[in-house]
Amino acid sequence: MTGSSGDNQLQLPERVISVLRCLSCQSQLEPDQNGLICAGCGRKYPLVNGVIRFVDAQQYAGSFGFQWHVHAQTQLDTHESNRSERDFEQRTGFRPQDLVGKLVLDVGCGMGRFADVATRWGAQVVGIDLSSAAGVAARNLAGRDAAIFQADVFSLPFAPESFDAIYSIGVLHHTPDCECAFKMLPGLLKPGGRIAIWVYSRYHNWYKMSDVYRKVTRRMPPRLLHSLCYGVIPLYAVHKVLRKIPLVGRPASGLLAYAIPFAFDEDPKWRVLDTFDWYSPWYQSKHTYEEVFRWFEDSGLEDLHVILQPISVAGRKPLKVPAVSLPKETHLEAQPCAE
């Protein structure tokens, strides 16, 4: 696990250190007094607020840094609720037996909601997030078998074929290029490893008006937008009243929901969080199964299948075919390339 905030001592499992690579020269990284240092070119990666930083700034992900500092534990499972565990299963298809003892990459870990689940299932998790939420995840997962880094999906500090499994839930569609972001990941899978992603669906129309509002809301100061999102608490009550009115109530509720889309969650904290999460990101793309299957196929993945919640797709990296040794007396002549 990473060091705690204010701690200059870095503790990382050997298994994790062995897969880390320098962004500049791809050499191995070694623990340093204040972070990591490249064994090849000497580039340093500092320990800041409990996590190693492979980026200098949050870039387009600043709203998520704000979001997960405010809602640091809103979505963590408790004795009363295992909602995140259920969401994890329904969006990845993974089961506890799939991850026990495996080295797993969580792409866009946020405050550690799903890494919390994976570590409970026995996985050793490496989580990355572009935003300062990485520090929140490190605190939430203190004492767990998890290493958290602040890093960019388009420039990941890992050796090829390092991970047994990779997942990214609700994150890739918030990058400038969702397809490109996804295609950065299969090369990090070991042969036979599995990858699962969940991205926003393009099959629905409920969000059409929110796309118009987002031209303004994504430019708002996060604190102001978050304050406005508390308006969904009474608005939810309005919908409940409308739906009790015979004949016209439900159509009126539907029209209002189309005009002002927000998260219809029974828990007020989740409702505010999910509404802010929808309106605040700078990038937000929606996709179809046809698109996502093509990304998987282009990346050479096999055994593709749809998981429960759209758009969720999982696949496997093929096992390497062993080289066939020819008898010593066999000679092959070089054949010209087809024109």
Give the integer Cα–Cα distance in Å for 231 and 208: 20
Between strands 35-38 and 29-32, the pairing is antiparallel
How many folded domains does the chain comprise?
A: 2
Q: Same domain, yes or no, for 169 and 295?
A: yes
Q: Over the chain, what is the mean pLDDT?
A: 92
Between strands 124-129 and 103-107, the pairing is parallel
Q: Same domain, yes or no, for 104 and 222?
A: no
pLDDT tens string 161-210: 999 999 999 999 999 999 999 999 999 999 999 999 999 999 987 888 99
Q: Let me know if residue 250 belongs to a domain.
A: yes
pLDDT tens string 31-56: 988 899 999 999 999 999 889 999 99
Q: Let me know if residue 5 belongs to a domain.
A: no
Which of 225, 254, 279 is at the close of a domain?
279
The boundaries of the domain holding residue 157 are 14-201+286-316
pLDDT tens string 130-160: 999 999 999 999 999 999 999 999 999 999 9
pLDDT tens string 280-338: 999 999 999 999 999 999 999 999 999 988 999 999 999 975 555 444 443 333 333 33
Residue 86 one-letter amino acid: R
List all residues 6 or more positions away from 149 whose beta carbon is below 8 Å from its beta carbon: 2, 51, 52, 53, 54, 126, 127, 128, 134, 157
Which of 256, 279, 302 is at the close of a domain?
279
List all residues 6 or more positions away from 34 whose beta carbon is below 8 Å from its beta carbon: 8, 10, 44, 46, 47
Give the integer Cα–Cα distance in Å for 166 and 104: 6
Query: DSSP states of 76-121 as a string?
Result: S--SS--HHHHHHHHHH---HHHHTT-EEEEET-TTTHHHHHHHHT
Residue 132: CATH number of its domain: 3.40.50.150
Query: Among 91, 93, 118, 116, which Cα is nearest to 104's?
Result: 118
Q: Same domain, yes or no, for 80 and 188?
A: yes
Q: Let me know if residue 339 belongs to a domain.
A: no
Q: Same domain, yes or no, for 296 and 261?
A: no
* pLDDT of 180: 98
Q: Same domain, yes or no, for 174 and 54?
A: yes
Q: Same domain, yes or no, for 275 and 292?
A: no
Sheet containing strand 163-169, strands side by side: 29-32, 35-38, 44-48, 51-53, 146-150, 124-129, 103-107, 163-169, 189-198, 312-316, 302-306
Q: Same domain, yes or no, for 212 and 193?
A: no
- This prediction's pTM: 0.90
If pLDDT is split at 50, 70 and 90, which confidence band does 9 have? low
